[in-house]
Amino acid sequence: MVSRSLVCRRIVPSLGNGSRSSLSKFGRCWGYTSQAASSLLQACEPSVYSTRKEEDEYADVDWDNLGFGLMPTDYMYQMKCGQNGTFERGQVKPYGNIELSPSAGVLNYGQGLFEGLKAYRKENGSLLLFRPDQNAIRMKVGADRMCMPAPSVEQFVDAVRETALANSRWVPPPGKGSLYIRPLLIGSGPILGLAPAPEFTFLIYASPVSNYFKEGTAPLSLYVEDEFDRASRGGTGGIKTITNYAPVLKALGRAKSRGFSDVLYLDSVDKKNLEEVSSCNIFVLKGNVLSTPTTKGTILSGVTRKSIIQISRDLGYQVEERAIPVEELMEAEEVFCTGTAVVVASVGSITYKDKRIEFRTGAQTACQRLYDILVGIQMGQIKDKYGWIVEIN
C-alpha cells in the first residue's frame, strides 16, 4: 500500500514554488487539462489513496522496453525573464505545447541552449540527481556566449528538483533506466533585427529513458567524419547551444545509413586531431594512460567526462587531456564515449578513410569498470565519496 505521506510529499514540493501551498489550491490554480495531470491530483485524494497499490506509484509504461524516445510526462517547468535580466519565480505546469511569436529570437536566430541530466530511482524510492549544479554552471557559461541571462545555479537546481518530483511516477524502477531531464533556455521574445531577444524562457521537460544507442550496451562502431566539421575555433562548439546540433544531422544520417552507430569529428583546422562524437566525449586507453581531447572551445566539457577523469585518476590511471592525432587510434587498446545520455559506451571499431580499427571490448575492460563505478554512484549503490549525488524526496 502506498502511504499517503509518500505520494503527497512528492507532489507538495512542486507546489512550494510560487504561491501554491495547498492541494486544493494546487488543483484550482493549475487548471488541469490532461488526463495524466488529473490522475496525479486524484492520487492525493485520501479516498483514492487507500485503495492504491505500490505499482500505482508508477506510470503505465513498459519499463522493460524503454529506449531513448520522447515519452511526455505529466509536468514541465517554466520560468521567464524580461528585459531586467532577472528570472521571476517559475512554476511547474501540466506538460503541453508552448506559444511563441513567429519572430521569437530562438526561431529566427537560434538563440537557445539546452541541457541534459538524469534522475535515478533508488531502491528506497527516493530520487537521485547527478551533479545538477554542473549543468547549471554550463548553462550560465553558454548563456553568456549566446547573450542571454541565465537562471542562478540555485534556481536551476530547484527547478530540476521540482520537475523530477512532479514527474516521479515516470522515473523508472531501479535498474530499468532513468528520467532524462531536459532544461532549455530560449530567446522567446519577438525581435526582427539581429539582436538578443527582449524576453527569455527557461523550460524543463522530462522523459523516461533507457539506452541511448539502438545497439543497447553492445560496442559502438564510429565513423570518422572528414568532410563536415562539428565546430570551429572561436565558434560555439564548447557550449550546448541548439545551433550545434542540426548541422551534424547530415553526417550522422549518412553514417547511420552505412551501418555506423555515430560520427567521430576531427578538428576543423588540420582535420588531424580527435574532437568528439555527435553527443558525447571520447576517451582512448593505451596501457595505463587514458587520454581525452582537451576542451578548448570546440568540444563540450561533459559532466560525465569530468566525472570519469576524476574516477580514473582515483583508480590509478594516468589521465591526459591533450590533442590526440587520429593516427593514435591505431595504437589504442580501448576507446569509449561518455555522456549523460550514453553513460560510458564501449567503442568496438572506428572507421577512418575506409580503414577499420578494432578495440578491446567486454567485461574485463577499463570501460566496463568505469561504467560500473559511475552508474553505481548514480544509482546510489556505491558510496558517493565525491558529493556528486543530490537525493530528493
Which residues sit at the interface with ligand PLP, rule CB under 6 A?
A: 116, 276, 279-281, 300, 302-305, 338-340
Q: Is 240 a catalytic residue?
A: yes
Please provide the DSSP assignment of 271-284 as one string. S-BEEEETTBEEEE
Nearer to ligand PLP, 90 or 183 (CB): 183
Residues forming beta bridges with residue 120, ordered by sequence position: 128
Residue closer to ligand PLP, measured from CB, 111 or 244: 244
The nearer residue to ligand PLP, 303 or 335, going by C-beta atoms, is 303
Closest by CA to 332, choosing from 366, 358, 300, 368, is 358
CB 240 within 8 A of CB 136: no
Query: Closest Cα to residue 297, out of 148, 132, 142?
Result: 142
Taking the C-alpha atoms of residue 297 and residue 70, their distance in angstroms, rounded to an integer, is: 30
Task: Give the shortest CB-124-to-ligand PLP separation in angstroms.
Answer: 26
Measured CA to CA, the distance from residue 241 to residue 187 in angstroms comes to 12
Nearer residue to ligand PLP within complex by CB, 92 or 343 = 343
Q: SS3 of 82, please?
A: coil
CA 213 to chain CA mean position, Å: 14
Q: Which residue is nearest to ligand PLP (CB)?
A: 302
With a CB cutoff of 8 Å and minimum separation 6, the contacts of 272 are 266, 325, 326
Residue number, 201 or 338, with CB nearest to ligand PLP: 338
Which neighbouring-strand residues pair with 215?
Answer: none
Q: Are 218 and 209 in contact (CB under 8 A)?
A: no
Q: Which of 118, 176, 240, 256 is catalytic?
A: 240
Q: Which is nearer to ligand PLP, 148 or 337 (CB)?
A: 337
Which segments of the chain are extended strands (E)? 75-81, 91-94, 112-114, 117-121, 127-130, 178-187, 200-209, 220-225, 262-266, 274-277, 281-286, 289-293, 318-322, 334-339, 343-352, 355-358, 389-392
Q: Residue 61 CB, nearest distance to ligand PLP (Å)?
A: 23
The catalytic residue positions are: 240
